[in-house]
Structure 1
Amino acid sequence: MNEKNVDLERRSVEERNNDQFKKLQIILEHAKNNSKGWKLILSDIIPTQISNRKDLQKLPITRKSELSDLQNKIPPLGGLNTKPVNQFKNMFVSPGPIYDPGGVEDFWRMSRAMRAAGFTEEDIVYNTFSYHLTPAGEMMEQGANYIGACVIPGGIGNTEQQLQAINNLKPSRYVGTPSFLKMILEKGIENNIDVSSLKTGLVGGEACPPSLKKILNELGCPVLQSYGTADLGLVAYETWENDGMFCDEEVIVEIIRPGSDEVLLDGEVGELVVTSLNPDYPLFRFATGDLSAVIQDKSSCGRTALRIKGWMGRADQTTKVRGMFVRPEQIAKIFKKLDKVSKLRLVVGNVDHKDTLKMLVEVSETESGLEKLIIEEIKAEIKLRAEVEIVSKNEIPNDGLVIEDTRTYE
């Protein structure tokens, strides 16, 4: 399996393109014949005419921000699935809400990123992604199991118990967010608990800038990043050669001008658009809302897949905080429940490599218990804790922002 992976990753660009577009033609035909949603969206498309990247632009773009509406019209998956929902192994709920299917074996293909990070069947993997409703925990567990590695399902929270588990079970690899890894390593030192069995990590769910990578390396657990979503599975992954992020073999990636369908030149920053070659839940020209850019120069490790610079921000106001998406629609739902509030703005920050949330609340007059009520509404809607700051009327700028991301990634 490993040799096959390496062969695919180092094949010629022409061979990869031919293989991917042959698969794409078959999946397009299959989707038109077996999916209510794609039958409508692709009504004017002739699959055999989509044979290269230029032809790919004939397909309409489907935006992640539209997915919730599509799913409301044709529940539960927008009619984008090509087999009955009950035949999937799992159904997951992401913030929005957005519903995503899960499959068997390595459904999200995370094993490729793990192999690139050096994970093997001899490893014990400590998985700190959530196993509750959202799929990240299952995504990583499947990838590790596919390689043959054992997985400890740590999940999120219960830091003291997790430290003891690491100390006793001696896992060799970490998967989860980089900020949580930093906390585990620092708490281990602070509490004199040995967590040094963790030799390397594969992180995702949030940005891991060079400064944080440096800290994790100094704490004894260097990491690589993977970029994936519940909808698409693995999109791209890093290698130890620091060549950027290589796109997975089962996706076709484009960079477009945000808000349009114009494909940009290599090197220009734009919105990441991904076509997944998943026959059961295909997504064609799926605009993620994330910004990135294509790396043009040749890689040093021999891999030939398209490379991107990784996550460079959001093309819209939807953002990711502590591994969870937060959307403007969610802030609007909170606003509708609050009388005497004229404006809300969620400010996302970063202190000591940990995401922070503050809800600015503009009111004409304050009332007892308002702050506590808003904290409860935030937790109920976006599943995250946030500080609340009451401000005077007209103090929040009239610039259309409901989510302001002030984080820096240096």
Structure 2
Amino acid sequence: MAQTDFFDALETRSPEQRESQLMVNLVAQVWHAQTRSPAFAEILRGVDAVNVNSRAALARLPVTRKMELLERQKALRATDSFGGFSALVRGPDMPRIFASPGPIYEPEGTVSDYWRAGRALFAAGFRAGELVHNSFSYHMTPGAFILESGAHAVGCTVFPAGTGQTEQQLQAIADLKPDAYTGTPSFLRILLEKAREAGVDVSSIKKASVGGEACPPSLTAWFKEQGLDVYQTYATADLGVVAYETQAREGLVLGEGVIIEIVRPGTGDPVPDGEVGELVVTTLNSAYPLIRFGTGDLSAIMPGNCPTGRTAPRIKGWMGRADQTTKVRGMFVHASQVADIARRFPQVHKARLVISGEMANDQMCLKVEASEADDTLRGLIETAVRDVTKLRGDVHLVPPGSLPNDGKVIEDARSYQ
């Protein structure tokens, strides 16, 4: 492919060049977070940033999950809306503040393409001079601004449609004839179906970048039948764009401004490539320097490079939620407890807690992949289950590799009928 097929040269540099530069940037970002973010000054107290120069060193740092971020924000609400996580202060360096459910407040910086959405839109076929119909919400949350800033980085003009008011949006599409759409896939489908019912011509839209919810292959195929090429973007309000789909449609390519790890749910322990786990992201954003931020989303690293020529690693996309907390006999059981049990036994490779039975008659079974399978080990693990969860449960030892690769640490198989 010619260079014009890429947003910039970073997308096609060698994996070795990228990894080397990411590790250099990681050292600088850890130091920056420690010195400019009061929250990370506390979380990373005692850490020498110079030594955080490898993925192994990064994996030794604590994971900060969204609930912890929310709790810190609530505790400091009177003096710091961001709970000590922002490296910015209000004023010209912070043009906007956004709110996500919680509420969790996020700052916006002034860097061009602050949310790093330009590459995602370019990969979806957006080009300079085109008009983008942006149907993400402009109300409190950053979704619309994430995609708008990316469209501007590509050189597009944006119509800020927002959500709702379907008839007015169809009128605007008919009048302005936009080339592309950004928004949720469900609202795009509503627009297309309403346009067909009303006889409104919306055929100018030939491509779309969608996010905010799942877009299964069946829906992508339906859009294709309507004449639209639809690509998924994975982004969060905290992190901006993390990964994006390309025309190869083989997973999502990671953005250039993030370092990602896949960890076993309930822990900070990285899993082997290809195994499903929680997506943990370290962002190189200096305004909001999140180090090992647990997204709560499940995914997995894919082997090889994208056929389009982009050389960044790929993930399989959204594969569910990592927070699998459930209640058994009136007691909450967490994925971290399952991990705690497994860590006590070096023979254990993987564990999965299955809750079965009917409501009010819960049965708990810990399925364990172990290199050694004997009654002594089974009895020791059963004791650990009682110690950690305060509940009795059976233990089944199974051969290594026999548990599903779906990221589930707790499986709720109860009947609710």
Q: TM-score range by the shorter chain?
A: 0.7 to 0.9
Query: Equivalent residues in 2 for 1:228-377 (5 A)?
Result: 228-316=235-323
State how far apart, in whole Å, the 1-side matches of 2:359 and 2:67 are: 25
1:84 corresponds to which residue? 89
Could you say what secondary structure the match of 2:56 adopts? helix
Question: Cα–Cα, structure 1 residues 398 and 73, in superposed 2: closer, same or farther, change >3 Å?
Answer: farther
Map Cα deviations across residues 245-291 of structure 1 (whole Å, 9 max, x no partner): 00000000110010011101111111000000011111001000000
Could you say what secondary structure the match of 1:85 adopts? coil
State how far apart, in whole Å, the 2-side matches of 1:151 and 1:232 are: 22
Given the alignment of the two structures, is residue 125 of structure 1 paired with residue 132 of structure 2, yes or no? yes
Structure 1 residue 298 displacement after superposition: 3.4
Contact 2:130/2:156 (8 A) holds in 1? yes
Looking at CA atoms only, which structure, 1 or 2, has the larger radius of gyration? 2
Contact 1:17/1:52 (8 A) holds in 2? no
2:231 corresponds to which residue? 224
Could you say what secondary structure the match of 1:68 adopts? helix
Given the alignment of the two structures, is residue 199 of structure 1 paired with residue 196 of structure 2, yes or no? no
Map Cα deviations across residues 324-354 of structure 1 (whole Å, 9 max, x no partner): xxxx9xxxxxxxxxxxxxxxxxxxxxxxxxx
Identity of aligned residues (%): 50
Could you say what secondary structure the match of 1:283 adopts? coil
Question: Cα–Cα, structure 1 residues 201 and 73, in superposed 2: closer, same or farther, change >3 Å?
Answer: same
Structure 1 residue 58 displacement after superposition: 1.9
Structure 1 residue 299 displacement after superposition: 2.6
2:334 corresponds to which residue? none
Greater CA deviation, 6-15 or 200-209?
6-15
* Aligned counterpart in structure 2 of residue 97 of structure 1, from 92, 98, 103: 103
Query: Equivalent residues in 2 for 1:136-155 (5 A)?
Result: 136-155=143-162
Question: Cα–Cα, structure 1 residues 66 and 123, in superposed 2: closer, same or farther, change >3 Å?
Answer: same
State how far apart, in whole Å, the 1-side matches of 2:6 and 2:298 are: 31
1:165 corresponds to which residue? 172
* Aligned counterpart in structure 2 of residue 65 of structure 1, from 56, 67, 79: 67
Greater CA deviation, 179-188 or 71-80?
71-80
2:37 corresponds to which residue? 35
State how far apart, in whole Å, the 2-side matches of 1:120 and 1:71 are: 39
State how far apart, in whole Å, the 1-side matches of 2:167 and 2:106 are: 32
Structure 1 residue 10 displacement after superposition: 1.1
Could you say what secondary structure the match of 2:274 adopts? coil
2:9 corresponds to which residue? 7
Greater CA deviation, 116-125 or 66-75?
66-75
Q: Which amino acid aligns with 2:104?
A: I
Contact 2:108/2:287 (8 A) holds in 1? no
Structure 1 residue 142 displacement after superposition: 1.1
State how far apart, in whole Å, the 2-side matches of 1:4 and 1:47 are: 33
Segments ≥4 residues shifted beyond 4 Å = 1-4, 395-399
State how far apart, in whole Å, the 1-side matches of 2:361 and 2:140 are: 36
Give TM-score, length-normalised by structure 1. Answer: 0.76
* Aligned counterpart in structure 1 of residue 216 of structure 2, from 209, 215, 227: 209
State how far apart, in whole Å, the 1-side matches of 2:20 and 2:146 are: 28
2:121 corresponds to which residue? 114
Question: Cα–Cα, structure 1 residues 191 and 135, in superposed 2: closer, same or farther, change >3 Å?
Answer: same
State how far apart, in whole Å, the 2-side matches of 1:269 and 1:65 are: 22
Give TM-score, length-normalised by structure 2. Answer: 0.75
Structure 1 residue 243 displacement after superposition: 2.3
Map Cα deviations across residues 8-43 of structure 1 (whole Å, 9 max, x no partner): 111111111111111121121122122211110111
State how far apart, in whole Å, the 2-side matches of 1:269 and 1:162 are: 40
Contact 2:7/2:118 (8 A) holds in 1? no
Structure 1 residue 317 displacement after superposition: 5.9
Number of equivalent positions: 329
State how far apart, in whole Å, the 2-side matches of 1:398 and 1:30 are: 52
Structure 1 residue 3 displacement after superposition: 7.9
Greater CA deviation, 294-303 or 204-213?
294-303
Greater CA deviation, 82-91 or 120-129?
82-91
Map Cα deviations across residues 130-175 of structure 1 (whole Å, 9 max, x no partner): 0000110111111111222110001000001111110011000000
Q: Which runs of 5+ in 2 are unaligned?
A: 327-357, 363-410, 413-417
